[in-house]
Structure 1
Amino acid sequence: MRMLKSMTGYGRVSAVTEKMEITVEIKCVNNRYLDCSVRLPRIYSYLEEKIKKCVQNSFSRGKIDVSLTIVETAGQSGEITIDKQLLEGYLSALTQIRDTYHLKDDVTVSGIAKLPDVLTRK
């Protein structure tokens, strides 16, 4: 007798060490073909192909989303630093976009905080 296996599922696991907290989430839904997408921190982008290969070895079809979150905790204080040179580059580019395309100027502090690598924790 064959066991029916569902193609829809969700899994989440977290591990905490002295240096970091790692969380992996996997979401699967039915799909005719194998479609795998991986989200992870830029610094760990070199792992993307290895993760995709691992998924391909375990699944033959389905839409599979893998999300990896790594938060380093060791040796970090609560101090936040601003990469002023990078911020100035972003602001210059945003000003150029605004002027070129005649857009409303609505740069906000919360918008700046969302820009990659402008704010970092020591």
Structure 2
Amino acid sequence: MANIISMTGYGKGIHNDGKRSITAEIKTINNRYCDINIKTPRNLRPIEENIRKILKNSLQRGRIDVYLNIDYLSESDTTIVPNLYLAQQYNNAINEIKKDLNIDSNLSLDTIIKFQDILVSKDNNKDEEELRLCVEAAMNEAVSNLIIMRKNEGIQLEKDIRSSMEKIVELIDEISKYSEKIVSDYKEKLELRISELLGSKHELDEGRLYNEIVFYADKSDINEEIVRFKSHMKQLDNSLKIGGTIGRKLDFIIQEANREINTIGSKVGDLNITQIVIEVKNLLEKIREQIQNIE
């Protein structure tokens, strides 16, 4: 048996290797697929593929937003250097604009350094392996904390789903009890209506009455739908017990359960059953919304 895991969660990890401190933050929300978005400083981008592997090994579904930050612990570990070639390109472009638009103004240093990537930080430490290990350690800690939160969220989701399931089973049992009386109630109403219309002067045609009742009984029989609906609830229960990555499977089961309860509602015109059907559909919708957050 595996845990039910929510797709909603947050995890943070920090690792310090004595030269640098890496902070990794992961936020996840529900998504049909595994959608990974990584935001890192430029000097960590070569490690993005390693980050994706760590995430894919632990997370199956959801929108996953990753934020990485690096803090150097000594001045000697990082250097800020200018990208002179890019600065020259910016300068040439601005001079061309000034010329074409006949603008007379001087380009200041403050303006130039505000352009993207004019000043670049470089790691003086040439050991990329150390940097990779530091990033992976922070990521592993963040993923571990994220999974703890997602499991806790999953436990609560399962409790809520099971609570709705218990109410649904009780309501389906009520429908079964009402359905047992549908035909006899219809027979009484039909006989009474015929007597009111024909009075005592005309003899009741028992054969035609019998055919009408049989037709109605066949048309309003919901036993098969009730059996299938209970089977879906059993499948839902078993899937929750097994756990794991079951979100899509649970969603399919709820779709099938909705199909059966809709058929029950359309077959039977009894007011009591109609009201119960509405309650069951509301509870199924509640479960469906909760399932959207299960991995």
Q: Please confirm whether the aligned pair reaches a TM-score higher than 0.5, indicating the same fold.
A: yes
Say whether residues 1:51 and 2:51 are aligned partners: yes
Rg (Cα) greater in structure? 2
Contact 2:112 2:118 in 1 (8 A): no
State the SS of the aligned residue for 1:91: helix
Shift of 1:24: 0.3
Residue matched to 1:116:
117
Shift of 1:43: 1.9
1:118–1:89 distance in 2 versus 1, CA, 3 Å: farther
Write out per-residue CA displacement over residues 13-57 of structure 1, whole angstroms, 9 at most, x where no aligned residue.
223343112100101000011101112222222211111122111
1:4–1:12 distance in 2 versus 1, CA, 3 Å: same
1:66–1:120 distance in 2 versus 1, CA, 3 Å: closer
State the SS of the aligned residue for 2:12: strand
Looking at structure 2, the residues matched to 43 and 80 of structure 1 have their Cα atoms a distance apart, in angstroms, of 12
Looking at structure 2, the residues matched to 80 and 55 of structure 1 have their Cα atoms a distance apart, in angstroms, of 31
Looking at structure 1, the residues matched to 34 and 94 of structure 2 have their Cα atoms a distance apart, in angstroms, of 38
Looking at structure 1, the residues matched to 94 and 60 of structure 2 have their Cα atoms a distance apart, in angstroms, of 44
Shift of 1:73: 2.6
Looking at structure 1, the residues matched to 95 and 111 of structure 2 have their Cα atoms a distance apart, in angstroms, of 17
Which structure 2 residues correspond to residues 30-109 of structure 1 after superposition, within 5 A?
A: 30-76=30-76, 82-96=82-96, 98=97, 109=110
Looking at structure 1, the residues matched to 18 and 35 of structure 2 have their Cα atoms a distance apart, in angstroms, of 35
How many residues are treated as equivalent by the alignment? Answer: 118
Q: Which runs of 5+ in 1 are unaligned?
A: none
AA matched with 1:4: I
1:34–1:76 distance in 2 versus 1, CA, 3 Å: same
Looking at structure 2, the residues matched to 70 and 29 of structure 1 have their Cα atoms a distance apart, in angstroms, of 25
Looking at structure 2, the residues matched to 9 and 111 of structure 1 have their Cα atoms a distance apart, in angstroms, of 41
TM-score (norm 2): 0.33
Shift of 1:58: 0.9
Looking at structure 2, the residues matched to 74 and 34 of structure 1 have their Cα atoms a distance apart, in angstroms, of 38
AA matched with 2:71: V
Percent sequence identity is 32
Task: Note the aligned Cα RMSD (angstroms).
Answer: 3.6
1:114–1:27 distance in 2 versus 1, CA, 3 Å: farther
Q: When you count helix as a share of all residues, which structure comes out higher?
A: 2
1:7–1:25 distance in 2 versus 1, CA, 3 Å: same
Contact 1:113 1:119 in 2 (8 A): no
Runs of 4+ in 1 over 4 A off after TM superposition: 79-85, 119-122
Contact 1:87 1:118 in 2 (8 A): no
State the SS of the aligned residue for 1:22: strand
Q: When you count strand as a share of all residues, which structure comes out higher?
A: 1
